[in-house]
């Protein structure tokens, strides 16, 4: 009998916001202050491109156990150039998106178990 992997559990928004600001400021070598003020990633991160997004997603996977594949858009083919246009634009949008991904993962886990 296989056991289903537990869906990730995210901390409350205040803690999640701080942790994400730490991840992004470390990975992208930018100031966390503007991130916490919800300034757009493209304005805060000097090299905001598909590589920066991938590095952010890999750190999110490591810290919060959300697979990178789950965080990538699944409903359409997105190339490296377009990933920056569909990635959440700021910290608040990223938090909302992460919560939706976790909900989707939990629903899929329940559906698979039934």
Q: Are 56 and 28 in contact (CB under 8 A)?
A: yes
Q: Would the pTM count as exceeding 0.85?
A: yes
19-28, 32-41, 72-81, 84-93: segment of lowest average pLDDT: 72-81
Dist CA 104 CA 85 (whole Å): 22
Say yes or no to pLDDT of 59 above 80: yes
Three-state secondary structure string covering 7-31: CCCCCCHHHHHHHHHHHHHHHHCCC
Question: What does the pLDDT read at residue 111?
Answer: 80
Dist CA 20 CA 3 (whole Å): 30
Dist CA 55 CA 28 (whole Å): 8
Write out pLDDT tens, residues 23-58: 999 999 999 999 999 999 999 999 999 999 999 999
Bigger pLDDT: 113 vs 17: 17
Question: What does the pLDDT read at residue 11?
Answer: 97
């Amino acid at each position: 009998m296989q056991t289903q992997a537990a869906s990730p559990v995210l901390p409350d928004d205040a803690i999640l916001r701080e942790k994400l600001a730490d991840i992004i400021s470390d990975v992208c070598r930018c100031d966390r202050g503007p991130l916490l003020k919800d300034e757009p990633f493209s304005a805060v991160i000097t090299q905001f491109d598909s590589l920066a997004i991938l590095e952010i997603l890999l750190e999110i996977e490591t810290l919060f156990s959300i697979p990178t594949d789950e965080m990538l858009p699944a409903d359409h083919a997105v190339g490296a150039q377009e990933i920056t246009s569909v990635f959440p634009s700021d910290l608040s949008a990223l938090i909302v998106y992460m919560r939706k991904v976790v909900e989707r993962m939990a629903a899929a886990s329940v559906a698979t178990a039934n």
